[in-house]
Amino acid sequence: MRDRDEGRTASTAAPGGGRKRLGVLEALRIAWAQLTSMRTALLLLFLLALAAIPGSLVPQRPTAPLKVRDFAAQNPELAVWYDRLGLFDVYGSPWFAAVYLLLFVSLIGCIVPRIAVYAKAVRARPPATPRRLDRLPEWVRGPLAGRRPSEVLDAAEEHLRRRRWRVRRDDDSVSAERGYVREAGNLVFHLSLVVVLVGLAWTSLFGFRGTAVVVVGSGFTNTLTQYDELTAGGAFDPADLEPFTLSLDDFAVEFETGSVQRGAARSFDATVTVRTSAGETQQHLTVNEPLEIGGTEVHLLGHGYAPIVTVRDANGDVAYSGPVVFLPQDGNFTSSGVIKVPDARPYRMAFEGLFLPTGTVDTAGPRSLFPDALVPELVLNAWYGEPVAASGAPENVYTLDTTGLTQYTVDGAPVAMRLSPGDTYDLPGPGGSITFEGYKRWAKIQVSRTPGTWVTLGAVALAVTGLSVSLFVRPRRLWLRVAGGTVVAAGLDKADGRTGLDEDVAELLAAAGVDADDGPDPPPDDGPDPPPDDGPDPPPRET
């Protein structure tokens, strides 16, 4: 734990016989001593800090998969190496885990023995008074002036006890100690760190987190199939999903229209109806105010637009009618999406393009100028092809695979339509039409359960408390001795950064009824300087 320990351990080499067996044990012991040494702990701490850096600079797959893809497309060779080194998922990589697991092993190895030591120290009496009080950092003395030694010691003892010092009375001296809780705080702090990790592990084992997009007017049922994405821990059981349904009745959003931060979101407000076995309630869901349904939380993560279209096929039949979710691509909600109409006959149809809440088309192409739907427009290309039997394989609804499809063209140029609400576009070639009816908003919700939350939170609170105790409580010792007509009071701090030792010492002498000698200088002492550690030993901390 302390550096001194290492030397001691390393030098206790196994003597003579039985060397081989002992050798292994000894090596293990040395390795353990090394791992739990303060120097290793320090090294691991800095290693952890260093290891965390790349994850903040390189895009990370769990949080930004798109950025990782772009990065890989731009730097294909680098990306291969990054992938090998786990740089796209630093916080899930084995080497990152190795650093923090080693740190925590070191922590436990360091703390557990200290608990035993502390348990003993708490019950132990304060240490005996050292022989030479005048070698301590702080001391004062005064004449006994004819009083009985026991009288002086009694007064000192009473003073200390009244002040809640732990006191030890010997024949000619009083010894007192205070500040035991510091070590307790330190132990609580380090143990809490372990508990924080336990809480996080519990959450990731039993918890889950999923997202779903819900269009205004439709709903979400909490079953596995309704999630767009779901990540869950190893011990998660889909049967445990809280049974509820949630329908999105309305979604109101306001954007900044002033010149400063124009377009920044100002408020979101989703009105939802939640149905559980207990009944039905209407509630509001906004950022920072998640819903709680049983042990499950629902957060509002994002929003966007779903243009409503009606598609007629070449036969004139309505092949599709309803909202289609488009995904925002920029801060002004230029949204891209795909409308697939597999049921159109004689040909299936498909559209791909952009929804622009406040549309414009300029040299930069079609884009939106403002996130609110002020001038909604739909810009699309169109395809048709032979119908295919539904394969049942999951298909990405946001991308269009154009194999087997032919683009609608006019005079050899692909059809590019630009529609305002109410507009209908009659397609050339085999025919058909699309009508842009209007739009709805959608909300992206996150449904999650984090069962270890309270463990983590409680441990963090304990850690902060323990840390404060261990940093603000400072152990101190005081002594008073009567010897040959002189009374000496002295004190020692075992941790630096504390003031007022001189006052405590002076007060002790005064409380014993002794006047301090007023000469500021100590008696000449030509002996060599004592090394700093010459004071009385600290409570036995080493293991």
Q: Which residues contact 229 (CB under 8 A, 6 or more apart)?
A: 210, 211
Determine contact, residues 177/124, Cβ cutoff 8 Å.
no
Of 72, 115, 195, 471, which one interacts with ligand HEM (CB under 6 A)? 471
Longest dimension (CA), the chain: 123
Instruction: Identify the CA nearest to 263 among candidates 314, 203, 199, 333.
Output: 333
Alpha-carbon 386 to chain mean position: 52
Q: Which is nearer to ligand HEM, 467 or 506 (CB)?
A: 467
For ligand HEM, which residue of 181, 195, 467, 506 counts as binding (CB under 6 A)? Answer: 467
**Interface stretch with ligand HEM, choices 212-220, 343-351, 402-410, 465-473 (CB under 6 A):** 465-473
**Using rule CB under 6 A, residue 47 touches ligand HEM:** no
* 145/462 Cα distance (integer angstroms): 52
Q: Which does 287 bind (CB under 5 to 8 A by kind): another protein, ligand HEM, none?
A: another protein
Give the C-alpha separation, 161 to 178, whole Å: 11
Count Cα neighbours of 83 within 13 Å in the Cβ-side half-sphere.
11
Among residues 6, 33, 41, 268, the one that binds ligand HEM under rule CB under 6 A: 41
Q: Which does 528 bind (CB under 5 to 8 A by kind): another protein, ligand HEM, none?
A: none
Among 60, 173, 175, 186, binds ligand HEM (CB under 6 A): 186
DSSP letter at 133 equals G
Q: Is 52 in the site for ligand HEM (CB under 6 A)?
A: no
Nearer to ligand HEM, 160 or 188 (CB): 188
Closest separation in Å from C-beta 499 to ligand HEM: 17
Please, which residue, 156 or 188, has the CB nearer to ligand HEM?
188
By CB under 6 A, tell whether 38 contacts ligand HEM.
yes
Helix then strand count (H, E) for the chain reads: 10, 26
φ/ψ (deg, to 5) at 483 = -150, 120
Residue from 33, 110, 144, 400 binding ligand HEM (CB under 6 A): 110
Q: Which is nearer to ligand HEM, 103 or 508 (CB)?
A: 103
Q: Which of residues 191-210 bind ligand HEM (CB under 6 A)?
A: 193
- Beta strands 245-255 and 279-285: pairing type? unpaired
x-marked contacts with ligand HEM along 8-37 as a string, rule CB under 6 A = ----------------------------x-
Tell the smallest beta-carbon distance from residue 56 to another protein (Å).
4
* DSSP per position, 73-131: HH-HHHHHHHHHHTGGGGGGSHHHHHHHHHHHHHHHHHHHHHHHHHHHHHHSPPPPPPS
Three-class SS of 356-404:
ECEEEEECCEEEECCCCCCECEEEEEEEEECCCCCCCCCCCCCCCCCCC
How many Å apart are CA 238 and CA 346, to the nearest integer? 41
The secondary element (H helix, E strand) that includes residue 154 is helix 149-162
Nearer residue to another protein within complex by CB, 337 or 452 = 452
Of positions 1, 488, 501, 508, contacts ligand HEM by CB under 6 A: 1
Pick from ligand HEM, another protein, none: which does 36 bind, CB < 5 to 8 A by kind? ligand HEM
Q: Closest distance between ligand HEM and the C-beta of residue 137, in Å?
A: 18
Contact 137, 522 (CB under 8 A): no
Closest CA to 129 of 156, 100, 97, 104: 156
Residue 194 binds which entry of another protein, ligand HEM, none, CB below 5-8 Å type-dependent? none
Contacts to another protein by CB under 8 A: 2-4, 38-39, 41-42, 45-46, 48-49, 52-53, 55-57, 60, 62-63, 90-91, 137-138, 200, 209, 256, 258-261, 264-268, 286-290, 297, 299, 301, 446, 448, 450, 453, 456-457, 460-461, 463-464, 467-468, 471-472, 496-497, 501, 520-522, 525, 529-533
Q: For 224-232, which contacts have Cβ atoms below 8 Å and span 24 or more sequence positions?
A: 227/447, 232/207, 232/208
Residues that bind ligand HEM (CB under 6 A): 1, 36, 38, 41, 45, 103, 106-107, 110, 186, 190, 193, 467, 470-471
